[in-house]
Amino acid sequence: MTKHDFEIAAIEEKKTLHDVMAHVRAFGEAAPEAAGIIHWGATSCYVTDNADLIFLRDGLGILLPKLAAVIQKLSDFAQRYKALPCLGYTHGQPAQLVTVGKRACLWIQNLLMDLRNLERMKEDLRFRGVKGTVGTQASFLQIFAGDHAKVEKLDEIVTEKAGFSSAFAISSQTYTRKVDLDIGHALSSFGATCQQMGGDIRHLAMSKQMEEPFAKDQIGSSAMAYKRNPMRSERMCSLGRELCTLSLNNVNTFANQWLERSLDDSAVRRSTLPEMFLLADALMILLDNISSGLVVYPAVIQRKIDEELPFMATENLIMAMVDKGASRQEAHEHIRVLSHEAADQVKNHGNNNDLLERVKKDPFFQPILEDLSKLLDPTTFIGRAPQQVDNFIGDGGEVPLALQRYRAQIASAKASELHV
């Protein structure tokens, strides 16, 4: 094929308003002796649907190693911060402590599910093959004078040459649009993961506990020079939302196919499928860029802990007092009164949480004063978070097993750059 051949096809398509026949004529001019048998027994979907299946397979093959590289980078991040305590949040409010690395594993777990979804889509993908106008292979049976074995052999050869291990045993004029629907769902699920992770990073950036990368000369705002806007995560949320939305086109296209085929699927698929893969690829670039340079601010995290830990430690204080022989109910009442007084200072006066100072001044708690440091050690509030991280991303864990097949691509992967 030369540029001239494509120019001829463009001229023919303008006349015929049929993309496949335009190329059939262009090929006929390029190979006159074969012109009479080009497209013999075939239908347009023999060309376009089989080509689409190749695109889908190869597109998934491009995305998967990129996703694996992101998971590896986030795993390295999780390992680095597996034991750094930080506030957990439920209902948008401070909860018990977790660790920075453990929280990153929540993102990794979701991305692992996306990896498996996309792998499953790629592995389950089959070729349409040589099926004729409505899927019965009637035209090819006629070509081979009723020899069913030859028709089946042709189907097998074409499928193998296209790089597929199997073809659909049953098809209509098209491969079932359920394929597009399922792949679209897997891609939109990945888009939702990106939105969720981007939202987490944006919330943490609001409190200055963590930030996405921020280049030396990057400008956050044209007006407010001090700003460090999380534009990468915001863009990730925006594109993820669009990827989720596009999936509905595949749902409606599949649901509205009539009998052996109707052409209302064609135009929307030509825009939706490429757009979904381009969006997923853009999200991979953003994910890689962000995960290559996440910034953590331990001092800010510790300050946040210090503001809330006294309240979280009240149960520990009560338990320690009981160990020293005090009444559990009496200890509870003392803590309740002091906690409310401290909360009043924080909420109504804007002061720091002074619960511990109040505990130290209350003679009731004298028996445990020398144990306060131990009772308030943040590392005693994180449970098995570091061990969970090790079990998840360490040797023999779920993450390295899932990434095993991508080791060569991960080793050669470079950090993605953003240019706008």
Catalytic residue annotation:
91, 221
Structure letter (DSSP) for residue 380: G
The rounded distance, in Å, linking the Cα atoms of 241 and 191 is 7
What CA–CA distances, in Å, run from 11 to 16, 22, 141, 267?
9, 8, 34, 20
CB 114 within 8 A of CB 186: yes
Asked if residue 118 lies in contact with residue 102, where contact means CB atoms within 8 angstroms, the answer is: no
SS3 9: helix
Phi-psi region of 350 (alpha: psi -120 to 50; beta: other; left: phi over 0): left
**DSSP code at position 353:** -
Look up residue 194 and give its amino acid.
Answer: C
Query: 265 — alpha (psi -120 to 50), left (phi > 0) or beta?
Result: alpha
Mapped onto helix, strand or coil, the DSSP state of residue 196 is: helix
Helix/strand/coil for 294: coil
SS3 87: strand
Residue 374 burial (CB count, 10 A): 11
CA distance 244 to 272: 11
- Please count the CA atoms within 13 angstroms of the CA of 342 that sit on its side-chain side: 20
Integer Cα distance of 356 and 64 in angstroms: 51
Q: Which residue has the tokens 């401290």?
A: 342
Contact yes or no for 43/49 (Cβ under 8 A): no
Q: Tell me the two tokens of residue 104.
A: 């990153």
d(CA 10, CA 13): 5
One-letter amino acid of 137: Q
- Residues 364, 102: Cα–Cα separation, whole Å: 37
Q: From CA 392, how far away is CA 169, in angstroms rounded?
A: 40
Q: Do residues 69 and 415 touch, judged by C-beta distance below 8 A? A: no
Residue type, 65: P
